[in-house]
Structure 1
């Protein structure tokens, strides 16, 4: 037997009939993955991350397809393609779907909304036990092609920085778009864009939801305090976000956030409050420190106080007598990255299309004023040179990248400019990204009292 379509293959798995899949050839719509001791993809290695990103991007650039994990494929004599030869079900603990999502979020552009499914092997089989794991990859719309992997790889299986590649599904194999074709596509696109620009109006940016910021600020009782806002809005909202209050939906995500250093650190989680329904959305408030509001259409607004409660944490002793208040570099960076880890990973995928991220800093220059310094936070008793905020209404936006560490970098780039500083003076920056590893290392030093 063999499956002749995605629907039929999935129906065999759902009916616990894996033997019916044997003989199915790999093709432009299915690829079979056997299991190593570290699962179908070894995400502890650059090679494993690249393989996952490459396979997903290749199917997205074709007509979509299935990555079916738990079958060994082999090319038989006189056959053109490898076929599923043996069922190899495996333990679910070999796959962490959050890690798979993280790899795809980091290494595939644009963001591709894959779906994960588990199917059981029949009970009572004396020869095999376990499960099958399927990654369903949707096709990219023609207007959005091509999907690319943001890293190339060496023959030794190591990522090459500042490189990229465009994989395409070619029958039962994966090829890569030739350089000449990439060059032609780029030039065709530039010419078409230049022609259209002469006649088409500029696209409207996502609405700046000023009222939402005002409501959140009042609800946190921060009307008299300087506040930093993070805001994310879909360019084309489509009504209610599905499953806001369902099991595994956004309410559960906010209640059980995957943070870098736990709820005690500088993030948007809380041990004391739970997200509360608000006009079809959710409000997670921790006055007067910070709060997060998710609207019914998925738009998110986060507010952080620029006081000793949050952004000025542990900075009171560096007051030079003028009354100015210093911003803690570590707190600012961690809270920014945690916002985009939450929003880019869990909210953006709920609404198709482009999103706009925005930062707004209000009343940072109002006396006594807020200051920020280059480099690390000072070690007592050294103060370090500081720069004063230059505006009381700093408002900048950018097209969401869907990559938390890149979007956090963009946010900090604008925040540092408020103080007349370049973002490269931030010690937690690595190239054009915020480094989660550097933040975690600093957090460990803080816990150790260093």
Structure 2
């Protein structure tokens, strides 16, 4: 087997299926690192520091990627690129993530929001044991190109101060931007500065028109709504098999939800997904709905009313405010990513952007949210009002439903001036499905 995208590779690691990654070639989006005794990068040496900074900058310049530590890669005579050929999980003590952050912050410009993740090797494997370390490098926006390493390096591995390099990913290797190209870019930048100021464009992943269309279909133009959106950064045409047997229409009609369609998910007992301009529309009466466009982009809408996000909370509101149920919010968020990460993202070979938009949450009567669980009586908890009626935030899709749900909740909680750790159904950097299930069992 092999992983053909970042989403699929992360999904294999999350499911503790590292052997499914064996056979994956290194490319513009992935590089495999075996682990010597000093760890993936020997940060006690100048060469190790430079290698880490170089690899991070190169992926950022190439549209983002993953540095996957714990696999041995090798190029065979019959293959063009190095291919992951062996799992080599290792002890977490070999990586000091704080040290990694510090090196990247010191040697790479501009500052990049690099993320670090650990994944476990299956405990029942008699051959090897340990963990995998993944460095997730975001794409640098075109307007901010290029990422620069603020040091050069000598042939004997010593850093050179007052020098810099521009690494670029070239297939399964890293090269450096030639001097002639650097000169041209500098001059192009100077000429652009002398010209007119370019107009600011809306990010491609922010599909406001899709939110407006879904809101109109649901007759929720004046209703506070929490939107979820997932958009491929590089769509490749019509989504394959949208209406085919076993395709996305069938998936939406027969959703694999944690509970039945009476619970807080995106299934419906009374309606079926309808064709809509090459895509699909699924409505759920007054609760919300889903819109999938012809290219795979998904928009979900959940009403912030007693019919959905405020379910059973109207008794605990004061001054006309509408309190949001922590349990309902968490379940509907997790169910969205269980559906989209598992069944839509794999259909398009691209990086994806997830987005949440809380619309009209601060309009009177304001939506409120409290830390902790839902109240057992009216005075329990300290509800906080929404601080904006146009809350709009995005992140690169991780492909792991529990982690993407956590990211969504982290942004939603910030709207109310709360930390996501006050949500009782989170655990570390993810939503804990088992904790949710304990609630209704």
Q: In which range does the TM-score fall when normalised by the shorter chain?
A: 0.5 to 0.7
Structure 2 counterparts to residues 296-335 of structure 1, below 5 A: 296-320=294-318, 322-335=319-332
Q: Which residue of 2 aligns with 1:285?
A: 283
Picking from 246, 249, 256, the partner of 1:251 is: 249
Picking from 424, 427, 435, the partner of 1:430 is: 427
**Does the C-alpha gap of structure 1 residues 162 and 406 become closer, same or farther in structure 2, counting only changes over 3 Å?**
farther
Q: Which residue of 2 aligns with 1:339?
A: 336
State the SS of the aligned residue for 1:151.
strand
Q: Which residue of 2 aligns with 1:60?
A: 24
State the SS of the aligned residue for 2:223.
coil
Picking from 364, 368, 373, the partner of 2:370 is: 373
Q: Deviation per CA, 1:103-131, whole angstroms, max 9, x where unpaired?
A: xxxxxx799xxxxxxxxxxxxxxxxxxxx
CA contact (8 A) 1:261 1:443 kept: no
**Does the C-alpha gap of structure 1 residues 192 and 284 become closer, same or farther in structure 2, counting only changes over 3 Å?**
same
**Does the C-alpha gap of structure 1 residues 141 and 308 become closer, same or farther in structure 2, counting only changes over 3 Å?**
farther
Q: Deviation per CA, 1:383-428, whole angstroms, max 9, x where unpaired?
A: 3111110000000011111111111011001100000111111000
Structure 2 counterparts to residues 412-423 of structure 1, below 5 A: 412-423=409-420
C-alpha separation between the residues in 1 aligned to 2:380 and 2:395?
Answer: 33
Picking from 352, 357, 360, the partner of 1:360 is: 357
Picking from 198, 206, 214, the partner of 1:216 is: 214
Asked if 1:440 corresponds to 2:440, the answer is no
Q: Deviation per CA, 1:130-174, whole angstroms, max 9, x where unpaired?
A: xxxxxxxxx9987999999852448775998975389xxxxxxxx
**Does the C-alpha gap of structure 1 residues 334 and 152 become closer, same or farther in structure 2, counting only changes over 3 Å?**
closer
CA contact (8 A) 2:22 2:85 kept: no
**Does the C-alpha gap of structure 1 residues 271 and 356 become closer, same or farther in structure 2, counting only changes over 3 Å?**
same
**Does the C-alpha gap of structure 1 residues 157 and 382 become closer, same or farther in structure 2, counting only changes over 3 Å?**
farther
Unaligned runs of 5+ in 2: 3-12, 28-65, 69-78, 90-117, 136-156, 158-164, 170-175, 190-200
Q: Which residue of 2 aligns with 1:229?
A: 227
Picking from 126, 133, 144, the partner of 1:164 is: 133
**Does the C-alpha gap of structure 1 residues 304 and 160 become closer, same or farther in structure 2, counting only changes over 3 Å?**
farther
Asked if 1:151 corresponds to 2:119, the answer is yes
Q: Which residue of 1 aligns with 2:10?
A: none
- TM-score, structure 2 as length reference: 0.61
CA contact (8 A) 1:148 1:164 kept: no
Rg bigger for which structure? Answer: 1
Highest relative contact order (Cα 8 Å, sep 6+), 1 or 2? 2
Q: Which residue of 2 aligns with 1:351?
A: 348
Displacement, 1:218? Answer: 1.1
C-alpha separation between the residues in 2 aligned to 1:273 and 1:231?
Answer: 21
CA contact (8 A) 1:261 1:440 kept: no
Unaligned runs of 5+ in 1: 1-28, 31-46, 64-108, 112-138, 167-183, 185-189, 445-450
CA contact (8 A) 2:121 2:131 kept: no
**Does the C-alpha gap of structure 1 residues 325 and 291 become closer, same or farther in structure 2, counting only changes over 3 Å?**
same
State the SS of the aligned residue for 2:251.
helix
C-alpha separation between the residues in 1 aligned to 2:84 and 2:347?
Answer: 18
CA contact (8 A) 2:368 2:383 kept: yes
Q: Which residue of 2 aligns with 1:386?
A: 383
CA contact (8 A) 1:61 1:147 kept: no
C-alpha separation between the residues in 2 aligned to 1:376 and 1:405?
Answer: 19
Displacement, 1:207? Answer: 3.1
CA contact (8 A) 2:235 2:350 kept: no
Q: Which residue of 2 aligns with 1:178?
A: none
Q: Which moved more, 1:380-389 or 1:400-409?
A: 380-389
Q: Which residue of 2 aligns with 1:72?
A: none
